[in-house]
């Protein structure tokens, strides 16, 4: 660490020590690394040096963003941002991280498939080859072309973008193959599942998934699909599909790599996670399908932030709290506000935090200097 950097860190520490109580020591100090920071060796070297200097010991590194691969794969098309056809970002960061003793978790956007205004450049992308796998909020197949046209007129016309359907059995099989390839070819400290949920409330209407539901449901034969949408039995069917996926995926990961940490980025409000997104992450924790739950508690206000934590405390038994890693955003608040959230997480006796994301620190290095005091 050079002299100028040391002085800057010291100044930041002195400033913040006088203005806010220092939080407890966190065993797990994680940082989300978005995919555009791993497209070459220089960027990876920079982020690892940053993580080391700023006291992060776990990195969630996004190696599957929009149905593509930032690693060597025979199952998933190579990411278009990787200009060097021989460069393997995942292998490089795994090897390089050993110098710093930083743990690397392969971060996968699970069901999230595409969100750009432009079409994928890879002709073997699932958006082209498997449109029947896409989820919908209406019991008809999605027309990719017309949906893309609407998105170009109104960015929000398709919400966050195209999702794979959790209830389609071929989607499940494909994703299990993605996981198998990873654990067979890379020695990972962890696998981190993101977008392991439905698009939003009312989604989960993929035609194949609906057909399977009707075939196995004896309680409501012949009921129109749009009426089924709000039935408790259908909601359970949808959430069970995701729970079964994470159970199978975790079993598969542990069979190949028993010490690989399985984690999931989850919605922080437990009730909304259940009702709107089919994400029963409290069950995933209690059944040991995941080792860590990482609630994305990105509220900029302390009231909403603390409210989500209180709901967790009320509904999740104490014995599981040490496996909850609190996610905190920095893109939507100043360092002092983010520091308050870190302090509150420590006061609430969580053993770890994860910061979203490194992008903010790369764009504004002074932010990281001001935040370092809370990451002791």
Q: What is the pLDDT of residues 148-182, one digit of tens each?
A: 888 888 777 677 899 999 999 999 999 999 999 99
Q: pLDDT for 10-52, tens place per residue?
A: 334 333 433 333 345 799 999 999 999 999 999 999 999 999 9
Are the CB atoms for 290 and 262 separated by under 8 Å?
Answer: yes
Are the CB atoms for 166 and 118 separated by under 8 Å?
Answer: no
Q: Which residues pair with 263 in a beta bridge?
A: 192, 292
Report the alpha-carbon distance of residue 211 to residue 200 in Å, rounded.
21
Using a pLDDT cut of 70, give the percent of the chain over it.
90
Task: Grade residue 227 by pLDDT with cuts at 50, 70 and 90.
Answer: confident
Q: pLDDT for 340-367, tens place per residue?
A: 999 999 999 999 999 999 999 999 999 9
Question: Quick one: CA torsion of 87, 90, 91, 96, rounded to 10 degrees?
Answer: 100
Are the CB atoms for 31 and 375 separated by under 8 Å?
Answer: no
Q: Average pLDDT of the chain?
A: 90
Return phi, psi of residue 371, to 5°.
-90, -20
Measured in whole angstroms, the distance separating CA 344 from the mean position of its chain's CA atoms is: 22
Which pLDDT belongs to residue 57? Answer: 96
Report the alpha-carbon distance of residue 38 to residue 18 in Å, rounded.
37
Which pLDDT belongs to residue 290? Answer: 98
Are the CB atoms for 374 and 342 separated by under 8 Å?
Answer: yes
* pTM given for the model: 0.91
Which pLDDT belongs to residue 14? Answer: 36
CA nearest neighbour of 355 among 327, 331, 335, 333: 327
**CATH (domain of 199):** 3.20.20.80
How large is the greatest C-alpha to C-alpha distance in the chain, in angstroms? 74
Across 186-215, average pLDDT? 95
Number of independent structural domains in the chain? 1
Q: What is the extent of the structural domain holding 197? A: 3-375
CA nearest neighbour of 356 among 59, 96, 25, 20: 59
* Cis amide prior to 47 (ω within 30 degrees): no
3-state SS string for 190-206: EEEEECCCCCCCCCCCC
């Amino acid at each position: 660490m050079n002299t100028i950097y040391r002085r800057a860190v010291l100044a930041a520490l002195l400033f913040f020590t006088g203005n806010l109580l220092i939080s407890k020591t966190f065993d797990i100090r994680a940082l989300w690394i978005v995919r555009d920071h791993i497209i070459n060796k220089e960027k990876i070297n920079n982020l690892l040096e940053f993580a080391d200097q700023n006291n992060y010991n776990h990195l969630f590194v996004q190696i599957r963003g929009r149905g593509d691969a930032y690693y060597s794969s025979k199952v998933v098309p190579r990411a278009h941002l990787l200009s060097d056809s021989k460069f393997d970002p995942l292998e490089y960061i795994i090897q390089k991280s050993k110098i710093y003793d930083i743990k690397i978790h392969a971060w996968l956007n699970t069901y999230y498939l595409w969100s750009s205004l432009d079409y994928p450049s890879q002709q073997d992308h699932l958006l082209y080859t498997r449109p029947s796998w896409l989820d919908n909020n209406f019991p008809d197949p999605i027309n990719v072309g017309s949906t893309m046209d609407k998105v170009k007129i109104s960015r929000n016309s398709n919400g966050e973008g195209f999702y794979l359907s959790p209830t389609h059995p071929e989607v499940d099989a494909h994703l299990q193959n993605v996981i198998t390839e990873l654990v067979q070819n890379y020695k990972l400290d962890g696998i981190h599942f993101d977008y392991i949920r439905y698009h939003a409330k009312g989604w989960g209407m993929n035609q194949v998934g609906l057909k399977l539901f009707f075939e196995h449901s004896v309680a409501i034969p012949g009921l129109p699909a749009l009426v089924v949408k709000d039935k408790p039995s259908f909601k359970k069917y949808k959430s069970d599909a995701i729970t079964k996926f994470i159970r199978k995926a975790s079993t598969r990961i542990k069979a190949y790599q028993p010490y690989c940490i399985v984690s999931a980025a989850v919605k922080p409000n437990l009730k909304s996670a259940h009702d709107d997104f089919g994400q029963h992450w409290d069950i995933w924790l209690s059944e040991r399908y995941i080792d860590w739950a990482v609630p994305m508690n990105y509220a900029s206000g302390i009231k909403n932030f603390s409210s989500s934590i209180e709901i967790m405390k009320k509904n999740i038994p104490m014995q599981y709290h040490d496996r909850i890693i609190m996610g905190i955003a920095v893109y939507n608040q100043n360092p002092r506000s983010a520091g308050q959230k870190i302090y509150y997480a420590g006061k609430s006796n969580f053993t770890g935090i994860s910061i979203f994301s490194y992008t903010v620190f790369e764009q504004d290095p002074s932010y990281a200097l001001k935040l370092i005091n809370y990451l002791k």
